Structure 1
């Protein structure tokens, strides 16, 4: 059976394709608009259409994943130390005198929602086994593909809840609801299930697919999930004792993995990562000699994910009604059209995490050795010689964009070298920020921000990674005009997974160094002579910024509950960079804004696992609540 190009899934989830397949089938079979189960499994086209629907139900941490309403700008990026949400009026991002505690349900993914999709996967696998219109080889490949989708569903649950009920066959209601209630497996068993599935299906799925199936699961996707899941399990095993969790869920192993299992999981990650890299199917994207634009292009709509590095991705298609609004939500203030925009505001902490190209510390040079503010001709000059990945990931004050530059200015100093009367921006950029100095009118704000109020960034930065600079129409938040693909797995992550596993195993520092330097070499930054675990984690932070990894990394490393001074999220607010225009010299000096109008945060140890929803508990008496929440 060949998959027809007109129903190629757009990670492929084009519902337009699903409709085309079903309409074509209905026309030929004359079923009066009703597709009955027997007709579906008697026709390859209908089976393919069902598969499209399974892809469509694959919930991921992607562009459209918001914890609560999207206007609140709470997602995996803004909940980490990478960024703040720019919009002012929200409990996490306003009332700076308050403390915001990570809520019990902030990462919630209700069982009652997720298991609907798992059941559909199970039902497909059961029905597929009975189908007679496909060859055994075709059935084996399709089965492996759906098992991959199911494993991804379980991984999304595991990283939130720990151990979850492993249901691998469709349940049928026979009048006894208790018979449908399944207890939670241990966290180790849950990760083992995901890993074992990936190990088996990697031997069945094709290494490459033709154009008609290029966005579907492959051997590489299975190995990538295996690599990530094993790394998560290994670190959870090694570092869980530092989280101080206790209670029935811990004692039963429903959460936390015994430390004795860490090496086994790290070895699995090492083997899966090594295999994926040495298979040679994927390579680090390095086609543009301009290292800044090379890194930006990797995630841009220009390449549409066809960069040789993406292993598995979620595609979008505006014409098919499956676009997204990421660009509209994240455009810098003056580029945002009729409102919204500004979205993720990267923190100075992240910006300074990007080193200089000579491998020196990334701390910006704001003052000289005598403590005097350094003057720069342009705000952009302070970032000279920084890691090219910074410019590909973040819009900085002075960054070029659409024939202009991003302009974020805190205000004007009537003087030079940072000394003199200060006139600070008081309103968002489209409001009045006029100041009068010696009878002359000046605008104290940049066109993209500077004040502590309104929609614009409060840190001085905007997110560039994934932003489509070719989009001209930024009006109408509901138009969903964006179709930049979301990367689920890419080779860059696999190199870093390998490096981390090597360091955790010990005795493989040379391989870790080689993997990290492959990433740095592509980035255009000086290679390291030796490497530590902390350096591997640091490389992961900058290379994978905004790809929704950071918060989950902090959770699996069990560092999120620590104070910000120890690398955690407690008491983290997010620091800003304030450029000031010095009127007398025509140059810019900088200050660090340590108290932007955002709440400090508090990450409790119990937040390493999400609270099970009461509605899930009430329908399954065999479930045990996660530690720290009670039932």
Structure 2
């Protein structure tokens, strides 16, 4: 008899407030047959798969966000593992983002779960002729069918998280046992992986309820579960990456002998962009959200119709401790925004016009945070702005309560506001529920605009959907100018993604898929020095914080050396 490794100890995060108990803790050592025959135990297996979704708020070393491995941010503590990305000191043995095993564990759990759903014993209800028992039977049967497609979505999500890091990876859709030969596991081509993920999204979308409010058996209580819209949205993201430069330009790899592992076959790029545009439009057409709500409050909630898919965690205050200014009680500085990011927020001239920030403009340099895109103040703590509980003005000027030369004060002259629950009093032990938003509607709008700009430049829909993001409640940035060229529109879309999704784990990947990382991430990271003239007057100067390293091999992660040692069929990525 084959031996199975049963790892079903899921100390579960809170994904949702639903009655479906996604926040249930499930720890078991009972036998395989008992697990598979129990409706509630198999349900708990699905819950444990949701637990493998990433939490970007405390991603590396329990504190650093991926933003601090890009030009968005600097992590204050220099011995955090995230700094290896910035110094170029990471490799196939030491990777600060070691997710290969994490996601393959999740994939294996899905494969085992899909087998288990066929063995659930529903006879106690099926064989009972009473109307109440028959109703339970039908409800449970529908639930099992839905669970299968939720699990297939989650597997597709895990595969895409691997693909965007490594290129083509092994597609393993059976349950390995101790008797299987791991030495023959090999990588599938990138094309096979993309096609598989997109197909799984299609299958899930065809069977899942549209959204949480339309679920057939627990209507209104499915917040956090996979839906049709989530499946379509993941496909939109996948096909956007598939159309982008990185997966269509193998020349960066310097004559790599297995280009099919890192690039798609040569073909019609416009057709790929068109497919990406169509995938984004499918989301919009399925469940259109014409108006976007308040930006600031979005990141302190899990219950917002802008959110398509999220991971909701239990109540805590660790994120606030990690990222609050050093002068606040228990604040550790953490992920501190860069001047490079701050400069990306436009200056609002009037209701119809916005311009780039320019340090060479004396008025802008003297008052650099005046009339800026409101998303700046909603995402980033700047000098002399108010913050926290008890509330006070943040002193980022040299010698201030939150600034150098205090040990572990921000090195960039900024602190992170986004995702912080500022009402928490950390000394009193206040906690709040945090959620990590994985997909939200503005991504779909900007995916659509980007793909359409590459496939049908000049289409009026491009400007329309970018402007919808800019016009959201509380932001109200002027619309883009009319008549932008394809190149100009491309740059505007890229900048819009940068400011809209700051600290949401997009920038690290966007600069790679656009193949601009060698120009962007190899530049010195900048911050600002603030000097105080009096209580209301300060001077500002952009300064270098640190040199950064990026070489072409870093477009993809190296396959972990331990995996290559196990399987002699695995091929390493270029130049690692």
TM-score (norm 2): 0.84
Q: Give the direction of change, closer, same or farther, for the CA distance of 1:589–1:121 in structure 2 (3 Å limit).
A: same
Counting only pairs closer than 5 Å after superposition, residues 33-432 of structure 1 correspond to structure 2 as 35-58=30-53, 60=54, 62-66=56-60, 69-70=61-62, 73=64, 75-88=65-78, 100-101=87-88, 103-104=90-91, 105-106=94-95, 108-133=97-122, 137-174=142-179, 177=181, 181-209=184-212, 210-236=219-245, 240-241=249-250, 243-250=252-259, 253-260=260-267, 262-280=269-287, 282=289, 284-286=291-293, 294-300=294-300, 304-318=301-315, 323=316, 325-335=318-328, 337-338=329-330, 341-358=332-349, 359-363=353-357, 368=362, 382-402=368-388, 403-410=391-398
Q: CA deviation at 1:284?
A: 4.4
C-alpha root-mean-square deviation of aligned residues, in Å?
3.0
- The answer on whether the counterparts of 2:281 and 2:448 sit within 8 Å (CA) in structure 1 is yes
**1:487 positional shift:** 0.3
The separation in 1 between residues aligned to 2:303 and 2:82, in whole angstroms, is 37
Match of 1:11 in 2: 15
Q: 1:542 aligns with which of 495, 499, 503?
A: 499
CA contact (8 A) 1:283 1:309 kept: no
Q: Which deviations, in whole Å up to 9, do the C-alpha atoms of 1:565-610 show, x marking residues without a partner?
A: xxx211x222222222226xx65342424233x3x11211111111
- Post-superposition CA distance 1:480-532 (Å, at most 9, x none): 94522110000011111111111121245311111100011113110013341
Secondary structure class of the residue paired with 2:384? coil
Check 1:248–1:350 CA distance in 2 against 1; reply closer, same or farther (3 A cut). same
Distance of aligned partners of 1:459 and 1:513 in 2 relative to their CA distance in 1, 3 Å threshold: same
Unaligned runs of 5+ in 2: 1-10, 123-136, 213-218
Q: Secondary structure at the match of 1:353?
A: coil
The answer to whether structure 1 residue 500 and structure 2 residue 494 are counterparts is no
Distance 1:386 1:331 in 2: 23
User: Is the CA contact (8 Å cut-off) linking 1:107 and 1:610 kept in structure 2?
Assistant: no
Q: Once the 2 structures are TM-superposed, how far is the Cα of residue 345 of structure 1 from its aligned partner?
A: 1.3
Aligned to 1:623: 570
In 2, Cα distance between equivalents of 1:132 and 1:92: 47
| Secondary structure at 2:74 match in 1 | strand
Does the 8 Å contact 2:12/2:48 carry over to 1? Answer: no
State which structure, 1 or 2, has the greater radius of gyration over its C-alpha atoms. 1
Could you list the per-position Cα deviations for residues 456-490 of structure 1 after superposition, in whole angstroms to 9, with x for gaps in the alignment?
11121111110111110158xxx894522110000
Instruction: Tell me how far 1:309 sits from its aligned partner.
Output: 0.2
Q: How much does 1:249 deviate? A: 2.9
Total equivalences in the alignment: 528
**Helix, strand or coil: the match of 1:483?**
strand
CA distance in 2, matches of 1:517, 1:183: 45
Matched, 1:524 2:476: yes
- The 8 Å contact of residues 171 and 188 in structure 2, kept in 1 or not, is answered as yes
Distance in structure 2 (CA, Å) of the matches to 1:88 and 1:267: 43
How many angstroms apart in 2 are the aligned matches of 1:92 and 1:45? Answer: 39
1:45 is displaced (CA, Å) by 1.6
Deviation at 1:383, TM superposition (A): 1.3
Structure 1 contact 110–612 (Cα < 8 Å) conserved: no
Contact kept in structure 1, 2:167 and 2:556, CA below 8 Å: yes
The structural deviation recorded for 1:200 is 1.6
Structure 1 pair 317/21, CA: closer, same or farther in 2 (3 Å)?
Answer: closer
Q: Which runs of 5+ in 1 are unaligned?
A: 1-6, 24-32, 287-293, 376-380, 411-444, 563-567
Q: If the length of structure 1 is used for normalisation, what is the TM-score? A: 0.77
Answer whether contact 2:205 2:232 (CA < 8 A) is retained. Answer: yes
Cα pair distance change 1:46/1:281, threshold 3 Å? farther
Pair 1:487 & 2:437 matched: yes
In structure 2, do the counterparts of structure 1 residues 111 and 466 end up closer, same or farther at CA, with 3 Å as the change threshold?
closer
